[in-house]
Amino acid sequence: MFDINLLIRKNIRSLVPYSSARDEYKGEEAVFLDANENPFNTPLNRYPDPHQLKLKKTISTIKNVPAECIFLGNGSDEAIDLLIRAFCEPGVDNIVSIKPTYGMYKVCADINNVEFREVLLNKDFQPDTEGLLKRADNNSKLLFLCSPNNPTSNSFKKEDLLHLVKKFPGLVIIDEAYIDFSGAGTLTGELGNYPNLVILQTFSKAWGMAGVRLGMAFAGKEIIDVLSHIKYPYNINVLTQRTALECLSDTRKKDTWIREILDQREYLRKELSRLPMVKHILPSDANFLMVRFDNPQEIFHYLINKKIIVRDRSKVILCEGFLRITVGSEAENSELVKALQQY
């Protein structure tokens, strides 16, 4: 039986959350003299909706997840940090994760003084499920997984992910930042079956809104309530809520972008694999390609000279020799190919 009270930190369990003016009066139109706002400069003069109800309702329809099972953060990074702060007692509890993966999980753990236990992916870049479970003990509160994984660009097997969700003693967080570019489906449909499952998604990639800073966490209502109680009251500002609602009103645009990026991913793979200096390209379920060179750093600096910036991942364990190349627009990708042909 899942009991969130056995996982949550004591001080968070007994927390009395901040109550804002907009918490205490929830009606619509009125003369608002309760929040010490400036009456001029509408609509920026008003505090944003602390619960983002309209935005969550829209996201709920698009993602087919109940609004009460959605947390919105200042990027996924806020959800990552809040999960650690809510569930991990500094200096006592620990987090289990894979290696290599997205760097923010470890940085947030380090900031919060929470031990971060990493288990190397196997040779196929899949999680070592038994190794991960063996590293867990009574103080393991969170397991961070990322599928499709950054930087290895592959999806993990659904049965392995669900096996970990079933067997891990704490919350299992699956970061689906790249899910829209993947052949593997989202696991949001499994939320009702697993009360310890948390899924992260973001508006930074497929939706083209990295500058807006909006991330989503999907989980059971109990987990979402904990995150909502400890977040800054107005974590999603008026401009972000408004811009996101505008973008979400036309999902066809996002679908066109995804199709274009997937086409370009295949174009890049074909063109790059023809080049003599390209040794290997990992299969990708994301909007980037991991490309191996014998002389990655030389290529990296050559490209910088050509004003093309890629990510040097050549010193990352299991990714030795690889550069991480984001799939850009058609023009950007052919510029990259041209530059490499001239190398």
Ligand X SMILES: *Cc1c(COP(=O)(O)O)cnc(C)c1O
Binding site for ligand X (CB under 6 A): 75-77, 102, 146, 150, 175, 177, 202, 204-205, 210, 215
The one-character DSSP state at 310 is -
State the minimum distance, in angstroms, from the CB of residue 324 to ligand X: 10
The one-character DSSP state at 186 is P
Residue-wise burial string across 189-212, b where 16 or more C-beta atoms lie within 10 A, e elsewhere: eebeebbbbbbbbbbbbbbebeeb
**Complex with ligand X: residue 9 or 213, whichever CB lies closer:** 213
Residues 216, 62 contacting (CB under 8 angstroms): no
Question: How many angstroms separate the Cα of 1 from the Cα of each of 169, 188, 196?
Answer: 11, 21, 10
**Complex with ligand X: residue 98 or 165, whichever CB lies closer:** 98
- Helix 330-341 vs helix 296-305: angle between axes, to the nearest 10 degrees? 120
**Complex with ligand X: residue 65 or 146, whichever CB lies closer:** 146
Using Cβ positions, the residue closest to ligand X within the complex turns out to be 75
**Complex with ligand X: residue 203 or 340, whichever CB lies closer:** 203
Q: Is 98 helix (H, G, I), strand (E, B) or coil?
A: strand
State the minimum distance, in angstroms, from the CB of residue 326 to ligand X: 10
Q: What DSSP letter does each residue of 221-264 carry, written as one string? A: HHHHHHHHHHS-TT-S-HHHHHHHHHHHT-HHHHHHHHHHHHHH
CB burial class (10 A; 0-12, 13-18, 19+) of residue 251?
A: exposed
State the minimum distance, in angstroms, from the CB of residue 149 to ligand X: 8
State the minimum distance, in angstroms, from the CB of residue 105 to ligand X: 9
State the minimum distance, in angstroms, from the CB of residue 244 to ligand X: 12
State the minimum distance, in angstroms, from the CB of residue 178 to ligand X: 7
**Complex with ligand X: residue 75 or 195, whichever CB lies closer:** 75
The tokens for 219 are 């989980």
Q: Which helix (H) or strand (E) holds 135?
A: helix 129-135
**Complex with ligand X: residue 118 or 175, whichever CB lies closer:** 175
